[in-house]
Structures are given as C-alpha cells and as structure tokens.
Amino acid sequence: MDKNSRIVIVGAGAFGLSTALKLAQDGYKSITVLDRSMPPVPDGSSNDISRVIRFDYGDAIYAQIAKEAFDLWKTPEYQEAFHQTPCLWVCQDGTPEQPVQPRAAEYSRKTKRVLTEMGQEWEARDAGRVASRCAAAGVNFMTGPHGQVEEFEYGSEGEVVAVRTANGNRVTGDVFVAATGAWTASLLPAWNSMVAAGQIVGYLRLSREEMTKLKDLPIYFNFSTGFFCFPVHEPTGYLKVAVHGFGYTSQNDKKAVSAPPSAPPSTRANFVPADGLKRLHAGLKDLLPELEPRGFEKVGLCWYNDTPTGDFIFDYHPEHKNLFIATGGSGHAFKFLPVLGKYIVGSLERKLSSDLLTKWKFPTQFREQFRDDAFQGDGSRGGPERRELSSQERNTFNAALTVASTRQSKI
C-alpha cells in the first residue's frame, strides 16, 4: 500500500488508535482519526477505571498474542497503566437463579490445556497514552461534530470516497478504516456479522477500612455465571463488578440493527435492567456477602461488538474494496492494545499468515438472515441468553443518558 495514501480512520478507541500509531510508525504520511470525542472516548468500551489484562485463552492463537501484549504492558510505554495482580477463574454448579453454562467447563478445560502447552504456570483449586503518542507521530484528529461520522459515501464501483459528519463536514480519503466498535453495524453494511450487546457493570463505594481489608482481592471470574470482580480501585475507592454475559440488544429503528445511543458521548447512563441488577447482586452476594446489602452507587451498560465466534474482524469489506473493518472486540480486545496495531496493519497490508487472515476474515455466511443462536462467542460467556431491551427499559435508559449528558456538559 502506498505510504502517501490518505488513510481515514473512523473511531478513536483501542482499535483505531493502535492502528493509527502503527501506521505512523511504519511511515505512512497522511493519517486522520475521526470521532465524537478526543480519546479516551467517555462511552467507549475501552474506557473505564479498570480492565483485565490476561493471556489465559482456550484458543492458542489468542493466548500467544495476548502473552505478547502482556509482556509489553510491563514496558515503560505502558506500565503506568498496568498493575499486576492474581487472577481466580472458577466454574460452579448451577442454581435456578444462576444456571450453569455447559460451554463454561469446556472453555476452562481448553484454557488449562493451552496454558500448559505454552509452559505457563496455573494452579487448580476448589471452589490515554496512545492518543498522545499518535499526535506526536503526526496523526491528525478531528473530533466533536466535525469528527462524528454519520454515513459513508460510496462511488460508482462501491468504493468509499468520503465520510460525512454531524456538522456536514465531508472528509475524503483513499483508504478508510472503520474501527467503530459497537456502532459499526449502524454505520455500514455489516451483513449480520456482528451485534452490539450491552453488558452490565456496577460500582460499589468502599470505606478506607474496607479497601485495606480487600487490598489483596484478586481478579475473580466465574465462567458459569459470567460474574466477575476487579481488585479495589484505590484512586476512586470503587469496587467494580460486572457480568461477561450475552447482554442486551437495543434495536436501532432506522437501520434494524442493535446499536448503542448515537448521542454525543457522555459518562455512562446510570441504568441497567432490573434482571441485570439482580445478577450483579447475586454475584456480589456469592463472593462478598457482607457488602451486597449496601447496593451499588452507580451502574451502567458497557457495549460490546460481538461476533459469532468471538473472533476479531480485520478485513476489507466484501463489497467496498477500500473500506477496511477493524472491529469485533467481543469483550476481550483491550488487553491486546500494545500489539493490536501490529496485527490490524498486517491484515490491512495483507502481510499476515494465511491462518490469521482467515481467522479474522469478514463473515459472510449470515448475510441474508440474522441468527442470534450463532452468536455464542468463544465459550467464556455465562448467564442468561441475550435479550432485547423492552420499550420501557429503552425509555428509562434514554432518560438516564440525558441526565448523564447534561451533568457531563456542566463539568
């Protein structure tokens, strides 16, 4: 690919920024990143007080690449944002409230096998700096209404000639990279290859004494229920918990696909559905029963862009030859941040092995009909089946989003 090509990247999350940085480092001269906000984008799935960095996978390819990224998280460029802590993964028998997921045990077995083959130790028991580096490397940013892409403009042969933004701005280019996460299917023809799913998150405020008591709390992940808990976040005093499940969809009436709100970015709306809140309480009661009665200071929906198998999509769109798709985080992409750009650009230039190009190929088998039963992920999800938010839940969510946006605008 010509180093002088005008490359337009839509999306300033982990996928977009890592791609922009790698392109700049490789000598590409014209790189522009567009988004609604300067990174870190407040409502992006890669932005929060904490994320899990791990390389325990039932898939050997992801395990090896995650280990490559893990080693880089400990280098000076990333170590400020990295705190190493023990991890505890569990599977358990089901209950009527928290039914066991059959695939969870299989995922656990695969993970243990892969780690053993990698020579990594495990023990069985019972029971925003990237954006600055992009700017320093010469990457251009367009944000706010100038960078909020609302549609792609296509030429006579299906090629993308420009993107149009919220204020009517028209940005032209030679190569376009859609790194738009859960918003992707509402912006371009996704052919039922992905679905935006809201995952539930809760934050519990701890006292100084409780923080001291729980200072050695490991990362806890229950594969059977999907519930997981982070170590105490000392800067905020929060204990963060969540459910890595199948989530909730929210139908976009104009595009007939699930999509997060397209409003200006804000902090997450203080809302999760009632059954989701019940799952957060159940998980907390199982792990730390003394804290559960207090409830959560705030909750929220974190939007994943799920693919049928949980694999990323790093490929050109089948009908738009200069439109490259870099998405499909499926709730496990952030940990790869130090190496994401390497593999995305490698795919963009078609320089990866045939195995990787095939693994991250744009899925076409569901083009004619969406099949929710195909979206089972990699086996690490737990909890109830994915469901659509009711109209009442959507109204409550939108009202909470308005409150959050108003508060954010006053800061």
In the chain the domains, ranked by start, together with CATH numbers, are 6-367+370-410 (3.50.50.60)
Q: What is the pLDDT of residue 239?
A: 97
What confidence tens digit (pLDDT) does each residue in 126-138 have?
A: 446 899 999 999 9
Q: What is the pLDDT of residue 97?
A: 47
Return the higher-pLDDT residue of 22 and 370.
22
Dihedral sign, CA of 42, 256, 173, 169? negative
**125, pLDDT greater than 50:** no
Q: What's 233's DSSP letter?
A: B
Return the higher-pLDDT residue of 121 and 44.
44
What confidence tens digit (pLDDT) does each residue in 186-239 have?
A: 999 999 999 999 999 999 999 999 999 999 999 999 988 889 999 999 999 999
Q: What is the pLDDT of residue 87?
A: 84
Instruction: Give the Cα separation of 46 and 197 in Å (integer).
Output: 14
**105, pLDDT greater than 80:** no
- From 85-99, 254-268, 281-295, 351-365, the region with the lowest mean pLDDT: 85-99
**By three-state DSSP, how is residue 203 classified?**
strand
Rounded mean pLDDT, 246-274: 82
Task: State the average pLDDT for the chain.
Answer: 89
Split at pLDDT 50, 70, 90, the class of 375 is confident
What confidence tens digit (pLDDT) does each residue in 294-328 have?
A: 999 999 999 999 999 999 999 999 999 999 999 99
Q: What is the pLDDT of residue 109?
A: 67
Strand 170-172 and strand 175-178: the pairing is: unpaired
* Count of CB atoms situated within 10 Å of the CB of 321: 13
* Count of CB atoms situated within 10 Å of the CB of 293: 9
Q: Torsion angle, CA of 47/114/107/382, rounded to 10 degrees?
A: -20
* Count of CB atoms situated within 10 Å of the CB of 61: 15
Instruction: Give the Cα separation of 102 and 92 in Å (integer).
Output: 11
- From 191-195, 368-372, 396-400, the region with the lowest mean pLDDT: 368-372
Provide the token pair at 149: 């892409």
Angstrom CA distances, 162 to 59, 84, 159, 264, 336, stand at 38, 43, 9, 22, 30
- Proportion of the chain above pLDDT 70, given as a percent: 89
What confidence tens digit (pLDDT) does each residue in 67-101 have?
A: 999 999 999 999 888 988 888 878 766 544 455 45
- From 8-17, 88-97, 190-199, 357-366, the region with the lowest mean pLDDT: 88-97
Provide the token pair at 80: 């400020």
Q: What is the pLDDT of residue 379?
A: 80
What confidence tens digit (pLDDT) does each residue in 136-166 have?
A: 999 999 998 999 999 999 999 999 999 999 9
To which H or E segment does residue 389 belong? none
Largest Cα span, the chain? 66
Angstrom CA distances, 99 to 91, 95, 110, 226, stand at 11, 5, 21, 11
Buried b (16+ CB within 10 A) or exposed e, 139-166: bebbbeeebbbeebebeeeebbebbebe
Pick from 236, 238, 235: nearest CA to 284: 238
Burial class (CB in 10 A: 0-12, 13-18, 19+), 36: buried
Instruction: Give the Cα separation of 233 and 227 in Å (integer).
Output: 18
To which H or E segment does residue 32 belong? strand 30-34
**54, pLDDT greater than 90:** no
